[in-house]
Structure 1
Amino acid sequence: MLSLAWKIRRSVETGMAVFLLAMVALTFADVVGRRIFGKPIYGSNDITEHLMALVVFCGLPLVTAAGAHLSVDLFDRLVSKPWMAWWRVLSSALVVVVLGVIAWLFVKHGLNATRISEVSQALRIPRGPLYLFMALSCALSALAALGITFFGPMVDPKDTHKEEAL
């Protein structure tokens, strides 16, 4: 089970890196084309918009699995006490439910966008698959949140010695 989780994590990391590289390359080419040749890349805004969504939603399950979401540590001293375990479980369950609802809403929106043929402004790129990818990302994040509730954050063993050095 843990091996499968690591394989999913590696594939999500690889996808995010590829999307980010594509976005950087496209932006660079667009700026060079616009400034030097006076010819911007047609539809680069549409492609960048889609790539940005892909990068953000690839990062969501990674951040969730690592337990690295922004949090306020104002009450950590109180909440970390053993008698407050119910609160930690309750808040984790709430995160799982919220991410699950967001995934379900993205599925509904993706299916609706496919049904009505929703497309991007310039290049007419279909939006349905993008929304379904976002739904998959939120569902993976919900599973990751559920996993860290029982097993703790999914930290790469190779990275632990770096944290100890700090």
Structure 2
Amino acid sequence: MLKTLERLLNWSSGLMAAMALFAIMWLTLIDVSGRKFLNNSVPGGLEMTEILMVIVIFGALPLVSWRSEHVVFDTLDAFIPDWLKGLQARVVHLTCAGAFAMMAWLMTTRAERFAEYGDITVHLQLPLSPVAWLMSGLLLLTALVHLVFVAVPPVAAAHGGPAREGEPS
């Protein structure tokens, strides 16, 4: 089941983030070339780049959490007994899940407000609420990843099963 979840994350948020980054690359190339050779940039290029950056950053969040590639403060790890490290990891993942869920809820309220007021981008007149809804959904997905790690430690997730004897949890 964990391998299926990992595959799903790779093919959903990972592919979405990769495609957005690829689009930013092409948009930047076309925009810079247009300014250099045609004295004309892509209309709304900055707005498109900003929206695509949101997709890259928030799309990568669930994968960063799943792969445990986030910034870790491990200065005190040498002083924490081994028997406490598993509990510590679960508490940290539970705290992260709560924080990401709270951010998702806040972004949901922001998306509702954007939709209610009809907020749009300045140049391209694109609605902002779908972007905020996407951010909210990806934050919630990241919270769910951390909830999975409360039950199954990341080491177990990386190996597709429960942590083996002698491995840190």
TM-score category by the smaller chain?
0.7 to 0.9
Q: Percent identity?
A: 25
Q: How does 1:60-79 map to 2 (within 5 A)?
A: 60-79=61-80
Following superposition, the deviation at residue 144 of structure 1 comes to 0.7
Q: CA deviation at 1:66?
A: 0.9
Give 2:114's aligned residue. Answer: 113
Q: CA deviation at 1:80?
A: 5.4
Q: 1:40 to 1:136 in 2, by over 3 A?
A: same
1:16 corresponds to: 17
Deviation of residue 109 (structure 1)? 0.5
Pair 1:46-2:70 in alignment? no
Partner of 1:161: none
The alpha carbon displacement at 1:155 in A equals 3.8
RMSD: 1.8
Compute the displacement of 1:4 (Å). 4.0
Partner AA of 2:79 in structure 1: L
Residue type of the partner of 2:55? L
Paired amino acid for 1:83: L
Of 65-74 and 147-156, deviating more is 147-156
Contiguous gaps of at least 5 residues in structure 1: 158-166
Which deviates the most, 145-154 or 99-108? Answer: 145-154
Cα distance in 1 for residues equivalent to 2:36 and 2:136: 38
1:117, distance to aligned residue in structure 2 (A): 0.7
**Structure 2 contact 13–59 (Cα < 8 Å) conserved:** yes
1:28-55 CA distances to partner (integer Å, 9 max, x unpaired)? 0000000111011111001001000110
1:89-108 matches, cutoff 5 A: 89-108=90-109
CA distance in 2: counterparts of 1:30 and 1:9, whole angstroms: 30
Structure 2 residues without counterparts, runs of 5 or longer: 161-169
- Distance of 2:12 and 2:159 partners within structure 1: 14
Q: Is the 8 A contact 2:107 2:133 kept in 1?
A: yes
Distance in 2 (CA, whole Å) between partners of 1:64 and 1:80 is 24
Q: Any conservation in 1 of the 2:91–2:150 contact (CA below 8 Å)?
A: no
Q: CA deviation at 1:89?
A: 2.4
- The answer on whether the counterparts of 1:79 and 1:87 sit within 8 Å (CA) in structure 2 is no
TM value normalised by structure 2: 0.85
Amino acid in the other structure paired with 2:41: P
In the aligned structure 2, how far is the partner of 1:70 from the partner of 1:77?
17
Q: After superposition, give the CA deviation of every residue in 1:117-136 in whole Å (9 maximum; x if it has no partner).
A: 11112111111000110011
> Which residue pairs with 2:165 in the alignment?
none
- Equivalent residues of 1:64, 1:141 under 8 A apart: yes
In 1, the alpha carbon distance for the partners of 2:85 and 2:68 equals 19
Q: Is the 8 A contact 2:9 2:63 kept in 1?
A: no
Q: Which one-letter code corresponds to 1:41 in the other structure?
A: V
Cα 1:156–1:108 change in 2 (3 A) is farther
1:84 CA drift (Å): 4.7
